Amino acid sequence: MYVDESGDPGNAPLSSPHYILSGLIIHQNDWKHSLDRLKILRQNMEPLFGLKPRTEFHTSEIFRTSLPSYKAIKKNMRINMMKFYINEVPNLFPNGKILNICFKKSEHPNTVNFQELAWNRFLNRYDIYLNRMNDVGIIICDESNETQLRNQLRKSRIYNPVPSQFGPIPYNSPVQNIIEDITHRKSTLSYFIQTCDLIAHSLYRREFPKGSLKKHNVEKIFDALEPNLLKAASKSDPLGIVRK
């Protein structure tokens, strides 16, 4: 599973209103074919939109452009490029699954560290998925809080009961199917992580639509991912998005 985030993990007044984790699950037997399709997609994007294959696809640059490579592309074309990419995701990963955690911070006023809470849910849902598939998996994510995530995954492998008047009750079943520590990679070096950036940002635009972008239907871009969504991750959400 490749992972990227949208928003910051804090809950201060100037923090983002959200924290999102998006993971793209790919079976090892599909990995090479997925990479080949990603390479072709990025090659095709240069004549269509002017973005070179070696330029990192960073979705925030679509809307708040700072890099010359994005400034050279008109805004409507940048948005079309985003739509083109996300519409191709089901074709790029026909057997892939997408796991999403989305916290609206206003709904969690007592939470201080959203990264810890989100990864707790994330590891649990991914482990359940792997167990159902009778398989094991690894996690590859962008550069983030490596020490915290390493310790969190290691602790999640330990049975940790919560005492109560009725005896010990397990807070969470220990993670059993995620092997090794989380691997961290620069997003500039991975088309897969760049795809997760696109997924996470598209979910953000769906959850927090901006009036000035409604004419471009940006809030509907995420809908293209419906065939890949891991809906079993949350029974309370029709798209399987974990929100609590």
What pLDDT, in 10s, does the model give residues 154-190?
Answer: 999 986 655 544 454 444 579 999 999 999 999 999 9
DSSP-assigned letter for residue 228: G
What is this structure's pTM? 0.93
Domain containing residue 99 = 2-233
100 lies in some domain? yes
List the CATH number of the domain containing 134: 3.30.420
The total of structural domains in the chain comes to 1
Q: 3-state class of 67 per DSSP?
A: coil
Q: What are the residue ranges in the chain where pLDDT is below 50? A: 164-166, 168-171
54 lies in some domain? yes
Q: 3-state class of 170 per DSSP?
A: strand
**Cβ neighbour number for residue 242 with a 10 Å cutoff:** 20
Residues 6 or more apart whose CB falls under 8 angstroms from that of 91 comprise: 37
* pLDDT at residue 171 in the model: 46
176 lies in some domain? yes
In one-letter notation, the amino acid at residue 212 is S
113 lies in some domain? yes
In one-letter notation, the amino acid at residue 127 is D
Give ∠ CA 38-42-48 in degrees, rounded to 5: 140
36 lies in some domain? yes
244 lies in some domain? no
Element (H, E) at 127: helix 114-132
* Inter-CA distances, 14 with 7, 22, 70, 121, Å: 11, 23, 27, 25
Contact (Cβ atoms closer than 8 angstroms) between residue 135 and residue 166: no
240 lies in some domain? no
224 lies in some domain? yes
